[in-house]
Amino acid sequence: MGPAQSLDSVPTSDQIAKIVKEEPTFWLEGRLRSPESLLAQYGWALRRRVMDTPEVHALLIQLRDGSRSVVLNKARGTSKSDSWLIAHEVAHSLLFSNGRRWLPPSSAEEDFCDAFATFYMVALGTGSIVNAA
């Protein structure tokens, strides 16, 4: 059976919030972990390289062995922090199951990932909703 192609199988925001709150790797002694430490916890690689397109700020890549890598564009045309971009890519991973997407990519997905990254950084105390997106 392939990935679901409707919103019926996508968790609600309340369900996602519950998962994040209950997932022990998101918390360390009562504090949210930095996005960089989340990558280390999950064994994901973090790479920085110059990409041909500066409008691509970062990518989440699924590797053949099932692991993931976040690639930050060193030539990106944005003032967003590395941590914000990593949190944005982590949010994309919430939309996968067994290495497969639940839905095709969309602008709504990008909006969700932007909001997730912004609120994650605010919760860490290192971000501002005023400076979001």
Q: Could you read off the pLDDT of 39-89 as tens digits, one per residue?
A: 887 788 999 999 988 888 999 988 888 788 999 998 876 667 888 999 999
Average pLDDT, the chain: 75
Q: What is the reported pLDDT for 88?
A: 93
Of 66, 49, 104, the residue nearest 58 (C-alpha): 49
Average pLDDT, integer, range 18-33? 56
**pTM, two decimal places:** 0.70
Residue 33 burial by CB count (10 A; 0-12/13-18/19+): exposed, middle or buried? middle
Residue at token pair 């002694």: 29
Asked if 117 and 131 touch (Cβ cutoff 8 Å), the reply is: no
What's the rounded Cα separation, in Å, for the pair 48 and 89?
14
Average pLDDT, integer, range 9-31? 55
Q: What is the reported pLDDT for 5?
A: 41
In the chain, the amino acid numbered 22 is E
Average pLDDT, integer, range 107-115? 90
Q: What is the reported pLDDT for 29?
A: 46
The CA-CA-CA angle for residues 79, 39, 34, to 5°, reads 60
DSSP state of 116: H
